[in-house]
Each structure stands twice: as structure tokens, then as C-alpha cells.
Amino acid sequence: AQTVTQSQPEMSVQEAETVTLSCTYDTSESDYYLFWYKQPPSRQMILVIRQEAYKQQNATENRFSVNFQKAAKSFSLKISDSQLGDAAMYFCAYNAGGTSYGKLTFGQGTILTVHP
Amino acid sequence: DAGVIQSPRHEVTEMGQEVTLRCKPISGHNSLFWYRQTMMRGLELLIYFNNNVPIDDSGMPEDRFSAKMPNASFSTLKIQPSEPRDSAVYFCASSNRQGSSTEAFFGQGTRLTVV
């Protein structure tokens, strides 16, 4: 079974600084998808960024980027120029692709605090 | 598109009562998922459907839980009888595999409190 581990229950960052959230996963699949979701206090799950395992290039979405290390099964999220609105719970998630059709396995989450 | 719509947003019920949570997926999506979020267990998948057919219900905790998807635009998650340990946020999500995309879109969740 696939597992996703986020080893940082909490992280904090100063506004305008950079922070990196860690995620590791375990799978025997060669083709899969990885995601970072943001959950603010409103509890809405918001997709931040997505990475396809077959792509070697790391995904980037504006201030958000990932460091995808397939051999190490590591998928970290870097937030640059942190903003107060980035404060939320962040979840790393895995999808096996194929017939799983979006079925996600989540990590435990990391609470990110942004200090002004 | 209005996104995934869940109702109610909040539900408070007494132990032993029946609870029904509702979900309308995004039009055109053919997969639907029910997740539960608690402090102790995090986000866990309860059941998912593909083309209205249940594919995997191994995450459903007990026989007290049941889910249906009578058509492509509606699903329910029912708990009967409810217990205090069922208190959680229940999310519905939908997806549609187009090309390489398997992104799941989430509703705003239903916060269930069983007293």
C-alpha cells in the first residue's frame, strides 16, 4: 500500500521569506502523480501544485515550486516570498494514476504559520 | 462551474440518529470520492465511485456507513445509527481523467457533530 509521510507537524516563516515543506512517499509504481493541497481555516481543499512522476522537470506555479526526487521518493514544496495568506495546513498527496481516477492518499499535514 | 457542492455545511445530531450527507459533483466528472478528516486519523478515503459504480469501499469504517450514487450528479453518505466518534469533517471530491490529469476537486465539506 502506498504511504505518504510529512515529518513536520508545524513550520513557521517570516513574511517575504522562503520555506520548504517536506514529504516522502512509498510506492512500487513507476508512474504516478503527486500533489500539494492547501487547507486554510475555511477548510476548503485547494490544489497548490501537481507533479507527474514521468516528468523530470520540477513543477512550478508562481511562488510555489517542488523538488521532486523520484529515486529518493521525496517531494518537497518550496514557498518563496511567503505571504500572510499562505498560512494554512498543507497536505502532500499521492495518486497512483491508471484506474485510480483521482483517488488520493494523504500525508498527515503540516501547519504553516506566517509571521508579519 | 459551481464546483463540488456539499450539503449541509454543518450538521449536529444526537447519537443514534440517522445522518445523510449529500454531494453534487462537477458536471462531466465520472469519479466521486468521499473522504473523512479527523484530528487523529487525518484525511482518509471512505469510498469512491467510477461511472456511478462503487469501486472501493474498503475505507468505510463499519456497516453503519453506506454510500450511494444513483446518478452522475448526486451521491449520498449515510450513517445509521450515528455515534459520537463519527464526528468529523466529511469531504466529497470529484475528478475526470482527461489526458494525464487526475486532479480531484473538493467540496467545502460537511462538519458533522454527534452529541
Neighbours of B78 (CB within 10 A): 15
CB contact under 8 A, B95 and A91: no
| Structure confidence at residue B98 (pLDDT) | 59
Q: Chain-wide mean pLDDT for chain B?
A: 93
Span B50-57, mean pLDDT?
Answer: 91
Residues A74-83: pLDDT tens digits?
999 999 999 9
Q: What is the pLDDT of residues A3-15, one digit of tens each?
A: 999 999 999 999 9
Q: How many other CB atoms are found less than 10 A from the CB of residue A84?
A: 9
Given an 8 Å threshold on Cβ–Cβ distance, is A102 in contact with B109? Answer: no
Among B6, B29, B43, pick the best mutation site for testing chain A contact (most A Cβ within 10 A).
B43
**Average pLDDT for A85-107:** 88
Report CA Rg, chain A. Answer: 14
CB-based contact, A7 to chain B, within 8 Å: no
Find out whether B27 and B113 touch, Cβ atoms under 8 Å.
no
- Strand B65-71 and strand A24-26: pairing? unpaired
What's the pLDDT at A99?
A: 66
Q: How many Cα atoms sit within 13 Å of B5 on the Cβ side?
A: 7
- Cβ contact A88:A26 at 8 Å: no
Distance of CA B88 to the CA centre of its chain: 11
For residue B25, name the pLDDT band (cuts at 50, 70, 90). Answer: very high
- Are the beta carbons of A11 and A92 closer than 8 angstroms? no
In this predicted structure, what is the pLDDT of residue A26? Answer: 95
What residues in A contact B40, CB-CB < 8 Å?
none
Q: Which of A39, A49, A36, A34 is nearest to A94 (CA)?
A: A34
> Hey, are the CB atoms on A97 and B45 less than 8 Å from each other?
no
Q: Cβ separation of A91 and B43 shorter than 8 Å?
A: yes
Residues from chain A contacting residue B93 (CB–CB below 8 Å): 45, 102, 104
Question: Residue A38: CB partners within 8 Å, gap ≥ 6?
Answer: A45, A46, A47, A48, A86, A88, A89, A90, A91
For residue B3, give how far its alpha carbon lies from the nearest alpha carbon of chain A (Å).
Answer: 12
